[in-house]
Structure 1
Amino acid sequence: MPDFDVVVIGAGAAGLSVAAISAGLGLKVALIERGRMGGDCLNYGCVPSKALLAAGHAAAEARAAHRYGIRLPEPEIDWAGVRAHVQGAIARIAPTDSVERFTGLGVEVIQASACFTAPDRIEAGGRSLSFRRAVIAAGSSAVVPDLPGLDGVPWLTNETLFGLEEPPGHLIILGGGPIGLEMAQAHARLGCLVTVLEAAPRVAIREDPELVEGLRAALVADGVEFREGVKVTRVEQLEPNSKAAVAGVIAVLEDGSRIAGTHLLLAVGRAPRLAGLDLATAQVEAGPRGIVTGADLRSVSNKRVWAVGDIADPRGIGPRAFTHVASQHAGILVRSMLFRLPFTKVGYAALPRVTYTDPELAQIGLTEAEAREQGHEEVTVQRWTLAENDRAIAEARTEGMVKLVISRSGKLLGAGLLAPRAGEMAGMFGLMIDRGLPLSALAGLVLPYPTLAEAAKRAAGAHYTPKLLSPFTKRLIGLLKRLP
């Protein structure tokens, strides 16, 4: 008789959801976590980053209040107060993810490292635990690049950035993806010098270039300096001198340029946390991208084991490092592992992703380039700029647009948004794509006025305007007007 029905490794978003649901269904559950409950999202990612961004947005709003006829002095940044806000946000959410709460749910929480000692056995905290099912939800961590000189200089990742007791004087960020861009804007708005170094031809390389152009312009206006298409060949220690009162770091570029800063943030990607699990002993196949699973998130080599969240690498689909994907995985796993429902598969056709800058950049489904690459014929693109949206005009925030990618049959393939709080509109498009709703459903939707979401409706309506104003329609109206 196994010790546990389900053993979950990792108390991040995915692991906590699986543990809570499994225990709620009456199963005997163990949850193993070597670090802080809540994982990266609560402690080092989503929550602290959005809290820091909120502080930066408040400072930016104070500086821009003149656009409403309100004159305010330059905001004074109290870094200790900013840190208290960030840590306070974590503290308010932490009880939901706490040991006490999960113990109360009937989960046995083991605060230790875990490693497999057999295909059906895990060692943790000096105990050997046998299981019917194991769920690996160990997550991912920041990639530390093999960069000459890195071992001789101080550097930061998202796990250490929020612990700084003083604001960076000049923050150099390696990587222009979502984390790099969010932290660039937050620190720039809080009074820090910021330089983003990106090896790709442009920042946010996965996103629609038309929307990225607007986002980039907004960050430049905040004072962020971008160096795109550059390769950092090494880093060096910057010793204190008359110009630099504290030690720092120098990034040396391939062309010989030298960029000096006080702090270096590594934001070049994420890697699954596989080390220490001894997956080979468990006969669990894994690669550089994570644990190889089927579309049902079950290990392809050990049928007792499932993987969810950042560490899962479903065949033919690939990993996705988003907290909302972890929650999606948890739901799929419950249907697949606990209810044994067939044909339960993960899919990302309607997956939203958001860069939480200001304005936010959101993408749901396929970009225009992705749609064409995947062979969709006669793709139509409809745009509606915020300069034509009444709410945006009223708030003097007219930068951005809605961009819809539409199939020949009138189905929505993807939506790109650059707008304040664009992420709040993402669910509407995700529902449309997931349920296969025609674009006419959005065009006919009654939305409250005035809202930014009306830009989405107007973009959808513009798709039908040529047909509405066609010669045939005009002739039809000419005939109908004669009716009594």
Structure 2
Amino acid sequence: MTRQVKLVILGAGTAGLTALSEARRYTDDVLLINAGPYGTTCARVGCMPSKALLEVAHAYGRRDWLGASGIRGIETLESDLASIMVQVRKLRDRFIAGPISTVDSLGERSIHGQPRFLGPTTIEVNGERIEAERVIIATGTRPNLPEAWHSLGDRVVTSDGVFELETPGRRLGVVGLGPIGVELGQAFAQLGCEVHAFTRGSSVAGLNDPEVNASLLEVLERQMTVTTDADVTLRQGDQGLVMQGGGREVEVDWVLASLGRRPNVEGLGLENLGVELDKRGIPAFDTATLRVGDLPVYIAGDLSGLRPLMHEAADEGRIAAYHALHPDAECLARRTPQGIVFTEPSAGYAGLTGVQLPQSGVVTGSADFARQGRALMAGRNAGHLKLFADEHDGRLLGVEMVAPDAEHLLHLLAWSIQQNMTIDQLLQMPFYHPTVEEGLRGALQSARRELGKRRTLPDLPLCHEPADWVLG
């Protein structure tokens, strides 16, 4: 017997569960099929447990500044890695409870098993055949790990396993300094571990601008050894693993491999969709509607490779479900892109960066947080900010930064970019003193100078429509 279903969602991660929530606004005839663990990548092994670790690490990492500022007794502080990891897992289990509860509530409309396409709308799972009107593929990704490193056993760990370590060794190697490698490498360094990090390129944390990148590297190199432009080899040593690359050799207790992620497509039978697959094994799809050609099949979440971030996966789940159930509807616009790396100081971007910017017609504003007042008094004076504006109309196009609490500045600027705000409009906004935001104001002022504009009025809004807070 073949089960008939209006919509089948493959994958119970962030994209799949958000697609489920959106679809249930219009129909209850939805079936969720998941082959892997439940709880979402973000809550189980990604952004949530990592930030639980980072909060402790960043706080402990400020002990030297506290001592220099007159706080006595910091020499008695000690990081208990085993206890820290227990607390991280405790919080992790709390975070995954919600997504697991959502799946459990579906009853027979949730299936655990490996689905396989027999055709564009025919799926087989656990020996059952399912005929769907529409299908959303949201099976996610998993960490890359070179085949040769599998033989080194549990001394090589990816982000999928790092939070299961009960007592991490105090000598750590990191291979790959993208967002995950940088965050976790710095966290263990701040907790008192000896960290040796290697990365193939010259940039870290996904940063593009050389000055912004250099400002984060300067901080990291005070806390751990960093070797850039290095291809790394691993081999078994006398007491641990020997890492070799970039002219450096070091022995460590364990290695965090942070080498990107690959799509979970094995066993899905995507070749039976009848369309060409790319080198990742993914069919071509419309980046606006997420639809695969003319098929009633949609791609969502990290699997798409468009914007592999949790909030973007959620948006793609919404888009895929909406268009799956409204195939003739007008496409939905994407929000302004932003990415945040939760180092200390934190790093990231909003809007256009690097090669995305036009080749001409762009002006730049910058600010150095090494000299910024509020950052200086907090002992967090490090980082650099670059913002980019259209030289014709002054619209803010993008920003990249390393700055204290950059996550907040990046949100404000992403909102501003989405609202097509100009440099002048941003400078008319209130800036409190003393705050880190004053560093942003300095960058905006430098961009205005680059625009060749002179102030003809103070940086204050005009009184076209007096607001309620205007006195008099």
Query: Is the counterpart of residue 328 in structure 1 residue 315 in structure 2?
Result: yes
- Distance in 2 of aligned mates of 1:439 and 1:341: 39
- State the Cα distance separating 1:402 from its structure 2 match: 2.7
SS of corresponding position for 1:431: helix
- Distance in 1 of aligned mates of 2:30 and 2:364: 49
Match of 1:280 among 271, 283, 294: 271
Match of 2:241 among 228, 236, 249: 249
Q: 1:402 to 1:258 in 2, by over 3 A?
A: closer
Q: 1:392 to 1:89 in 2, by over 3 A?
A: same
Asked if the contact 2:365/2:445 (under 8 Å) is kept, the reply is: no
Query: Is the counterpart of residue 13 in structure 1 residue 11 in structure 2?
Result: no
2:260 corresponds to which letter in structure 1? G
Query: Is the counterpart of residue 266 in structure 1 residue 257 in structure 2?
Result: yes
2:441 corresponds to which letter in structure 1? K
1:336 corresponds to which letter in structure 2? H
Question: What is the aligned partner in structure 2 of residue 4 from structure 1?
Answer: 5
- State the Cα distance separating 1:462 from its structure 2 match: 3.8
- Distance in 2 of aligned mates of 1:210 and 1:452: 19
1:363 corresponds to which letter in structure 2? Y
Residue deviations 1:32-91 (CA, integer Å, cap 9, x gap): 222222321111111111111112112112332124321232321122321122112212
Alignment of 1:266-415 (within 5 A): 266-283=257-274, 285-289=276-280, 290-301=282-293, 303-313=295-305, 319-340=306-327, 342-344=329-331, 347=334, 350-367=336-353, 369-370=354-355, 374-377=358-361, 379-387=362-370, 389-408=372-391, 409-415=393-399
- State the Cα distance separating 1:174 from its structure 2 match: 1.2
- State the Cα distance separating 1:345 from its structure 2 match: 5.3
Question: What is the aligned partner in structure 2 of residue 236 from structure 1?
Answer: 235
Alignment of 1:130-145 (within 5 A): 130-145=131-146
2:401 corresponds to which letter in structure 1? L
Match of 1:85 among 87, 101, 118: 87
- Distance in 2 of aligned mates of 1:447 and 1:334: 41
Question: What is the aligned partner in structure 1 of residue 405 from structure 2?
Answer: 421
- Distance in 1 of aligned mates of 2:169 and 2:284: 40
Identity, % of aligned positions? 26
2:264 corresponds to which letter in structure 1? R
Q: 1:347 to 1:391 in 2, by over 3 A?
A: same
- State the Cα distance separating 1:389 from its structure 2 match: 4.0
- State the Cα distance separating 1:2 from its structure 2 match: 6.1
- Distance in 2 of aligned mates of 1:342 and 1:209: 43
Asked if the contact 2:385/2:400 (under 8 Å) is kept, the reply is: yes
Question: What is the aligned partner in structure 1 of residue 435 from structure 2?
Answer: 451
- State the Cα distance separating 1:371 from its structure 2 match: 5.4
Question: What is the aligned partner in structure 2 of residue 482 from structure 1?
Answer: none
Q: 1:77 to 1:324 in 2, by over 3 A?
A: same
2:385 corresponds to which letter in structure 1? V
- Distance in 1 of aligned mates of 2:412 and 2:21: 28
- State the Cα distance separating 1:332 from its structure 2 match: 2.3
1:225 corresponds to which letter in structure 2? T
Asked if the contact 1:443/1:457 (under 8 Å) is kept, the reply is: yes
- State the Cα distance separating 1:439 from its structure 2 match: 2.1
2:225 corresponds to which letter in structure 1? E
Asked if the contact 1:404/1:412 (under 8 Å) is kept, the reply is: yes
Query: Is the counterpart of residue 95 in structure 1 residue 97 in structure 2?
Result: yes
SS of corresponding position for 1:329: helix
Deviates more, 1:274-283 or 1:333-342: 333-342
What are the ranges of 5 or more consecutive residues in structure 1 without an aligned counterpart?
314-318, 475-484
- Distance in 2 of aligned mates of 1:140 and 1:384: 37
Asked if the contact 2:67/2:74 (under 8 Å) is kept, the reply is: no
SS of corresponding position for 1:6: strand
- Distance in 1 of aligned mates of 2:270 and 2:226: 41
Asked if the contact 2:22/2:322 (under 8 Å) is kept, the reply is: no
Asked if the contact 1:24/1:105 (under 8 Å) is kept, the reply is: no
- Distance in 1 of aligned mates of 2:61 and 2:207: 27
Asked if the contact 2:347/2:402 (under 8 Å) is kept, the reply is: yes
The alignment's TM-score, normalised by the length of structure 1, stands at: 0.86
Deviates more, 1:80-89 or 1:101-110: 101-110
Q: 1:38 to 1:292 in 2, by over 3 A?
A: farther
- Distance in 2 of aligned mates of 1:393 and 1:422: 15
SS of corresponding position for 1:122: strand
- Distance in 2 of aligned mates of 1:410 and 1:162: 46
- State the Cα distance separating 1:205 from its structure 2 match: 5.6
Asked if the contact 2:65/2:379 (under 8 Å) is kept, the reply is: no
Query: Is the counterpart of residue 44 in structure 1 residue 30 in structure 2?
Result: no
Asked if the contact 2:387/2:443 (under 8 Å) is kept, the reply is: yes
- State the Cα distance separating 1:461 from its structure 2 match: 3.5
Q: 1:428 to 1:77 in 2, by over 3 A?
A: same
SS of corresponding position for 1:158: coil
- State the Cα distance separating 1:394 from its structure 2 match: 3.5
- Distance in 2 of aligned mates of 1:106 and 1:376: 56
Question: What is the aligned partner in structure 2 of residue 227 from structure 1?
Answer: 227
What are the ranges of 5 or more consecutive residues in structure 2 without an aligned counterpart?
459-472
2:399 corresponds to which letter in structure 1? A
Residue deviations 1:433-469 (CA, integer Å, cap 9, x gap): 2232222221111244443223223322343458675
Residue deviations 1:99-143 (CA, integer Å, cap 9, x gap): x33454688221222221222122223322221111111111111
1:26 corresponds to which letter in structure 2? T
SS of corresponding position for 1:221: coil
- Distance in 1 of aligned mates of 2:9 and 2:332: 20
* Larger RCO (CA within 8 A; separation ≥ 6): 2
1:366 corresponds to which letter in structure 2? L
Question: What is the aligned partner in structure 2 of residue 64 from structure 1?
Answer: 65
- Distance in 2 of aligned mates of 1:406 and 1:356: 26
